[in-house]
Amino acid sequence: MNYKINISYDGTEFSGWQTQPHLRTVQSELQNSIYAIFNDKDIILYGSGRTDAGVHANRQVANFIINTKMSTSQIKNALNSKLSKDIYINDCMIVNDDFNARFSAVSRQYIYKICTEFNPLSRKYFWYLTYDLDKDMLVKCSEIIFGEHDFKNFCKTSSEKENNNCTVNKSKWIFDNEFVYFEISANRFLHHMVRMLVGTMIEVSKGSLTFEIFEQMIDCNQSKSRIITSPAHGLYLNKIIY
């Protein structure tokens, strides 16, 4: 049977999603819990995508194949009993054999969270900014991200691929008193892409970078030398669409 799990996690103490030697990652903790429950180290856990160190997830998705008499609720409860408190399985369900958490995904949605008033309780989950932000300029920047673009300027150089095109179907700033949120959905994302977009839009909003230069960077008519990467702890993988 092919089992799909929806996972939430606080990324603060993790070195990202993907298993890495000698580092604590979300995938490795999940994989070890699955091994312990089913006593089978051949089980492969497929995730919908990687998140960087410090990035959180509201609804990460993964799947694995196993023959078991356990019900989906029993699997969910067994996993949660073995996982640390900064990871939680929201639900578990049986899916078609051809379902793959990564390759079956149609789009992914991220949310970036910013606060303009310091709160010690939210310091690990929001990017705290003291600047006066030009909201109209943030909206203007978000509008030109919409659609298909080559986002090679908004990607970690070592992760650039032959094809860096992504189709953005949602790009929206939300303002709620001292809280500011950026929502973005696309068919795919490049490494650090959301954090680079947010950080650079904030530079435009502060007046440290012109809108025209930002637009040129989106159009790949300007180098990435003035790209700013926002902190990881404000970013959340919010939803995977299948």
Q: 3-class SS at 203?
A: helix
How large is the angle between the packed helices 193-206 and 135-145, nearest 10 degrees?
Answer: 140
* pLDDT, averaged across the chain: 94
- Rounded CA separation 213/234 (Å): 25
E strand residue ranges, 38-195: 46-47, 56-65, 87-95, 107-115, 127-128, 147-150, 165-176, 179-186
Q: What is the pLDDT of residue 185?
A: 98
Residue 26 confidence (pLDDT) above 90: yes
Residue 160 confidence (pLDDT) above 70: no
- Rounded CA separation 123/175 (Å): 19
Closest CA to 90 of 159, 5, 216: 5
- The answer to whether the CB of 59 falls within 8 A of the CB of 101 is no
Residue 224 confidence (pLDDT) above 90: no
- Rounded CA separation 155/141 (Å): 17
Active site residue 52: yes
**Antiparallel, parallel or unpaired: β 235-241 and 56-65:** parallel
Q: What is the pLDDT of residue 222?
A: 79
Residue 159 confidence (pLDDT) above 90: no
Q: Which domains does the chain have, with CATH numbers?
A: 2-95 (3.30.70.580), 107-241 (3.30.70.660)
- Rounded CA separation 221/183 (Å): 25
Segment 52-101, tens digit of pLDDT: 999 999 999 999 999 999 999 999 999 999 999 999 999 999 999 999 99
The active-site residue out of 52, 97, 98, 134 is: 52
- Rounded CA separation 100/105 (Å): 8
- Rounded CA separation 185/83 (Å): 29
Residue 141 confidence (pLDDT) above 80: yes
Q: Please give the average per-residue pLDDT across 1-17, as a whole number.
A: 97
- Rounded CA separation 1/178 (Å): 47
